[in-house]
Amino acid sequence: MKIVKNIIYYGIIIFAIWFAWDTYTKTPCDRVIEYDISFDDRFRITENEFISFVERAEEPWEDAAGRELFRYVPGSAFKVNLIFSEEQALLYQGRYISVELESQQSGIDSLASRYQSVVRRYESVLKEYETQLKKYEQQVEYWNAQGGAPSEIYDQLQNDERILDAQFNEAENLRRNVNQLADENNNQIEDYNDGVSDYNNLFKDPKQFDAGNTDGTEINIYSYDGNQELMTLITHEFGHILGIDHVDDESSVMYYLLNNQNKGGVLKTADINGLNLSCRLK
């Protein structure tokens, strides 16, 4: 009986030592992490497209490690979840505003072109009217000083007056058109500026990586603006699964803020150093 107890006792000790040693020597890169996906169809991509993005997000880490680290296996316990959030709704709203702004800018440019064309026509007609009016007034003044104009000159002056009236009316119509176009242009610019203000208010602050997170058992992606951001978010969270913490280099995937320097999802030296340290690769 004592021998059995000793065997059990030493067996427990040996198992504890083996377990501690195995835990200490193993790294996150020593096994392939199998995952499945969960998809919300309110996002404007298909489920197959999302799977493709996740698989592509594995590649930077696997290329750096020189081995397979992740594998998509339907039914796996580990999940990469695409969860529609309020922020994603705001991003779609911003995208809609952006398209509207482009359309409004095109309308403003077109209206400005029309305005300049009408202004040039107005200035030309007005100048011609003023020139002909001056000549007409000089003729009237001259013939009045002579006590009256001969009948043929009088008829010509009457015809000149009708032409002047027509030119004046054309100039007046063009002037009203110029003012109308100016008002329309000002209204369009005001609407455009309001749209720009709305857009800027949506995105005035840098986005932290709380657009995605992980607790080690799953990855949650809540929002992204474009395919590059989605790739970077997933690559960032895969980095955490590999035991890599945030780094200080703003251009690195593992920097805590998403920005224009790291949104391409390309690993930098700080990212690779973090992988080497976590997985004891070098």
Instruction: Check: CB of residue 46 under 8 Å from CB of residue 85.
Output: no
Is pLDDT at 4 greater than 70 in this prediction? no
Q: How long a stretch of residues is the chain?
A: 282
Single-letter amino acid code for the residue at 59: E
The rounded distance, in Å, linking the Cα atoms of 271 and 249 is: 9
State the pLDDT at residue 25: 52
The pLDDT tens digits of the residues spanning 11-51 come to 455 444 433 344 445 899 999 999 999 999 999 999 999 99
Which residue, chain included where needed, has tokens 């197959």? 48
State the pLDDT at residue 263: 79
CA separation, residue 202 to residues 76, 86, 88, 98, 191 (Å): 37, 12, 11, 11, 17
> What is the arithmetic mean of pLDDT over 241-251?
95
The pLDDT tens digits of the residues spanning 53-73 come to 999 999 999 999 999 999 999
The rounded distance, in Å, linking the Cα atoms of 54 and 59 is: 9
Measured from the Cβ of residue 267, the count of other Cβ atoms closer than 10 Å reads 20
> Residue 91: which pLDDT band, with cuts at 50, 70 and 90?
confident
pTM, two decimal places: 0.67
DSSP state of 255: B
Instruction: Check: CB of residue 57 under 8 Å from CB of residue 267.
Output: no
**Phi, psi at 65, each rounded to 5°:** -85, -20
CA separation, residue 77 to residues 35, 74, 115, 241 (Å): 7, 9, 65, 14
State the pLDDT at residue 3: 59
3-class SS of residue 82: strand
**Phi, psi at 192, each rounded to 5°:** -65, -45
3-class SS of residue 247: strand
